[in-house]
């Protein structure tokens, strides 16, 4: 199983080169039967002007991990995956360290998928909770 996990994580991290995910230093770190986890450093690159994590950066992390999870669990060779709706509730601020986003499937339909994404700090404190709806479109 570890070899399979390592392969999935390598693919997820490799496709992020020269993208927003690379700019934000998002790294995929764990995958399981129905979840994918990514982390992002919290520093001045992702701060809002008053020095705390910008909600937009948090949403970018959430959408990145949810979309990647759709790609992994829906066979990205057969489908294009696109986010079609994201919502977020930010419940706690953080100014330094790392945040972790865990995407867990709520609904896995043939066309649309619904993801629950919890963003936490290193101690497991909830920073944001996000929902992402993705659509899987057949590749031509």
Tell me the catalytic residues: 63
Angle between helices 55-73 and 2-14 (to 10 degrees): 130
Token pair for residue 54?
A: 């910008």
- Nearest residue to 88 via CA among 126, 121, 134, 130: 130
Q: What is the dihedral of CA 22, 75, 116, 137, to 10 degrees?
A: 90
């Amino acid at each position: 199983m570890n070899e399979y996990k390592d392969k999935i994580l390598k693919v997820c991290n490799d496709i992020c080169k020269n993208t927003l995910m690379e700019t934000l230093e998002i790294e995929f770190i764990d995958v399981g039967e129905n979840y994918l986890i990514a982390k992002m450093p919290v520093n001045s690159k992702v701060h809002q002007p008053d020095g705390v994590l910008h909600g937009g950066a948090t949403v970018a992390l959430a959408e990145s991990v949810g979309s990647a999870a759709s790609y992994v669990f829906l066979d990205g060779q057969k489908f294009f995956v696109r986010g079609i709706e994201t919502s977020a509730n930010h419940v706690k601020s953080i100014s330094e360290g790392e945040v972790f986003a865990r995407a867990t499937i709520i609904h896995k339909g043939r066309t649309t998928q619904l993801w629950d994404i919890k963003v936490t700090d290193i101690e497991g404190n909830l920073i944001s909770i996000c929902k992402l709806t993705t659509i899987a479109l057949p590749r031509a």
